[in-house]
Amino acid sequence: MATKDKSENAPGNAVVETIKTIVYALLIAGVFRTFLFQPFWIPSGSMKETLLIGDFLFVNKMAYGYSYASCPSLKLPGIGINIDAKDICGAFKGDNKRLFGSDPVRGDVIVFRHPGTGSDYIKRLIGLPGDKIQVKAGVLHINGEAVKLVDDGVFEELYEPQGPQGKLPRCENGPVGNGGQCLKSREIETLPGGVQYPILNIGNQSLDNTGIYAVPEGHFFFMGDNRDNSTDSRVPQSAGGVGYVPFENLIGRADRIMFSSAGRSMLYFWTWRKDRFFKAIE
């Protein structure tokens, strides 16, 4: 009497093994993204020239410990998937504490959850709890002292649609025709503690003169390096900005760009920027 094939090559066993492999891969990917590193693709120009539209990086989620914001979100509107971090770890939201938490350093480039919308943002940490922040005549002041600024020429880019959203850059020398050179003033800003980085400006704008922002305990104040093209803590949430960001909303620190695409998709490898592979973020 013939016996059933129970070898590893049996069709049923092959299907089971395939399913197990997929499940294990998803579990490993989930652990990797929740506790170690989260991929992030730069969608806007608010952090130029430190970060360009199309830069792809991994966010170090170990840098500041873990909170509800460390749980991954999965948003695929095209197929109706919208899983938010608070859907998974919402029970831990609201205490503004972190597991294995450590304090961020002024000048860090950080990905955080917008306190109102829950969207992921990436900006530079400017103000720590207890700080008083103000911008006067385009110059950042921290606790009453102006930061050091040094003129450093101009930043040049083509005036053309950028990234998957096809947004046009803002130019100090505007109006500029399509394909023309778009210019911005470039300065090197030095924060207390010595962190240096370039900032961009396009002239006198509404946020170049602000009131004094008193950063509450347990919160942080963020700004974009592209100062005149950044929605950040200078505008309160009630007016469509970011406002102060709670400690628990920090996702992780951006340390290094893996690669960068100047095209509409990161899959367009022929548009990858050769000078940005494994580039350190400062």
Mark whether 46 is an active-site residue: yes
**Which of these is catalytic: 48, 61, 123, 184?**
123
Tokens 């109102």 belong to residue: 116
Is the Cβ–Cβ distance between 220 and 174 less than 8 Å?
no
Name the DSSP class of 25: H
Q: Is 260 designated active site?
A: no
* CA nearest neighbour of 228 among 163, 112, 135: 135
Q: Given 46, 67, 73, 260, which residue is catalytic?
A: 46
In total, the chain counts a number of residues equal to: 282
Integer angstrom CA distances of residue 47 from 35, 97, 222, 279: 25, 27, 11, 15
**Helix or strand or coil: residue 46?**
coil
Give the residue from 128, 72, 84 showing the smallest Cα distance to 104.
128
Give me the active site residues, please: 46, 123
